[in-house]
Structure 1
């Protein structure tokens, strides 16, 4: 499976906003976009041209891909799924991305970033309704209970994250319980629940060209 292996801080600088790809580091003065608030590369500081319509659409699509950490082919599949569902395609797309297991693990507070959440899932540290699920793209459903595997709770990193769960805000469509190291899907996310800096209608326009 294809995987981005370069510096993720370059992605934030390219998009011009914090994508919070490195967890807690993004909240410190070590954050690259705070230290170098311009695009990477030798021409990064000289880019001043007004972007075209295509450029705006591309940036929104790339931003969404990079926030959720998925590659182009998979992102296109999500768009096709969203276009077949009832309702607005853009909102359907973001709802599908939010329902990914790695994102839910991050949202509940079991990980400091989606990349770390993906690692926990693929390494078998997460269960859904008591059964281990190691597929990061698994789409959660209403009523499912996501928890840290009992054997994994002794890990110093996971224990540290569980201890700080209470300090993290959880979206209204999820609930979290640090005592049982679990969370429950109360409902499917609405657009108001998805607090990310994306204008999804530009993504729809790009794929509808």
Structure 2
């Protein structure tokens, strides 16, 4: 199975965070899944377990496969700089994530579908590869005949602050956004402890 297609609330509860976005069911049960709910005494997790969970959280948050994630980590190491921050920058630069950040879809899964179903252009050229990494200055836009899709119209009609990210620029008249630059760690809102991931892969 290439992507996780199971219950998103259950997975969010396993990580203790609504990684798939606002979730009323998660808000009602913010403890781990299981037949005993939050009444079961849970053992303190080892360092390895914490590191593994953080890696899994990042993978599920961005919708990346194990091999892809490992390759991204190795790329981050080769680029120099702070490895954990570079890793998150690589994840943020994925086309499906940028489509989500621009507000063209309320979820990353929905953004990935828009890309794979050929509704998105990069620099005016049709691109249906969600894992495409954008570079500074790249333009992401909605294909002409796709602008009338209900999901895109509803998403773009949301308040402007939804897509208020300093490294992106959105033009509502042209229904296109520009990837200005790689974000710094403080600008990325995801609650991921990237240092734990670095420690896991460094063993």
Structure 1 stretch 65-74 or stretch 156-165: which is displaced more?
156-165
* 2:155 paired with 1:153: no
Scaled by the length of structure 1, the TM-score of the pair is 0.92
- Aligned to 1:168, the other structure's residue is in SS state helix
Residue 121 (structure 1) aligned to one of 109, 115, 120: 115
Q: 1:178 and 2:175 equivalent?
A: no
Q: Partner of 1:74 in structure 2?
A: 68
Match of 1:53 in 2: 47
Over the residues paired in the alignment, what is the CA RMSD in angstroms? 1.4
Q: Which runs of 5+ in 2 are unaligned?
A: none
Could you tell me how far 1:155 is from its partner in structure 2? 1.2
Q: Distance in 1 between matches of 2:17 and 2:3?
A: 22
How many residue pairs get aligned? The number is: 202
Counterpart in 1 of 2:97? 103
| 1:6-41 Cα shifts (integer Å, max 9, x gaps) | 11111110001111x1x5xx26xxx22211221112
CA deviation after TM superposition for structure 1 residue 164, in Å:
1.8
Deviation digits for residues 55-100 of structure 1 (CA, Å, limit 9, x no counterpart): 1101111111111011212111111111111101111110100000
Q: Which residue does 2:9 correspond to in 1?
A: 9
Shift of 1:165: 5.3
Give the aligned partner of residue 163 of structure 2: 169
Structure 1 alignment gaps of length 5 or more: none
Distance in 2, Cα, partners of 1:84 & 1:37: 38
The match for 1:134 is 128
> Are residues 1:40 and 2:39 paired?
no
Query: Using the alignment, how far apart are the partners of 1:44 and 1:100 within structure 2?
Result: 36
C-alpha displacement of 1:169:
3.3
- Using structure 2 for the length normalisation, give the TM-score: 0.94
Pairwise CA distance, 1:48: 2.4
Contact kept in structure 2, 1:165 and 1:178, CA below 8 Å: no
